[in-house]
Amino acid sequence: MSTLTLDRSDPGIDNMVKDWKNGAEYDIGGLKVRQISSNAKEAKFEVLSVPTEDDETSEEESAPVEKPSVVVAYKK
């Protein structure tokens, strides 16, 4: 499983994710994610789908994509 890290010390990122809940699904610029854990410094997300250039292709028709994750964390 791959991960993506977002820095919660950035006020914009922190404001975006502060009310998000574990198990809930969200859209980050077309990237569909599910929050799998969080604390004051980071939040981790499983990526459910990635936007593609071919908007006309249904999910059933598109090639399988590895499901990476997202991590939101403070940088020191």
Rounded Cα gap, residues 62 and 9, in angstroms: 36
pTM above 0.85, yes or no: no
Residue 47 bridge partners (DSSP): 33
Single-letter residue type at 40: A
For 24-74, write each residue's pLDDT tens digit: 999 988 888 889 888 888 888 888 888 887 654 555 555 565 655 666 666
Residue 25 bridge partners (DSSP): 34
46 neighbors 34 (Cβ within 8 angstroms) = yes
Confidence category of residue 21, pLDDT binned at 50, 70, 90: very high
